[in-house]
């Protein structure tokens, strides 16, 4: 039987790792709010790549 800490770990709804795409988007928003449009200065990953990462994350989460 797991102790209290292990039980809490296994029942936690917190993600195992941070959502880097959300963090990156938030950082870009903050930088653009301060410096203005950065779309020409910083290359952003294609939408397809972001969607593939999301699919991989969801399949891992639901073990499909």
pLDDT range class, residue 64, cuts 50, 70, 90: low
pTM here? Answer: 0.50
The answer to whether 10 and 2 are in contact (CB under 8 A) is yes
pLDDT range class, residue 15, cuts 50, 70, 90: confident
The answer to whether 10 and 4 are in contact (CB under 8 A) is no
- Average pLDDT for residues 17-36, to the nearest whole number? 91
How far apart (Å, rounded) are the C-alpha atoms in residues 64 and 59?
Answer: 5
* Other C-beta atoms lying within 10 Å of the C-beta of residue 28: 14
The pLDDT, as a whole number, for residue 44 is 67
How far apart (Å, rounded) are the C-alpha atoms in residues 32 and 28?
Answer: 6
pLDDT digits (tens, 9 = 90+) for 31-51: 999 999 887 777 766 777 888
Domain segments of the chain: what residues?
Answer: 4-62
């Amino acid at each position: 039987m797991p102790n209290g800490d292990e039980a809490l770990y296994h029942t936690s709804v917190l993600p195992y790792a941070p959502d880097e795409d959300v963090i990156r988007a938030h950082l870009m928003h903050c930088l653009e709010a301060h410096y203005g449009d950065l779309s020409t200065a910083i290359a952003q990953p294609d939408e397809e790549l972001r969607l593939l990462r999301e699919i991989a994350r969801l399949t891992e989460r639901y073990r499909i």
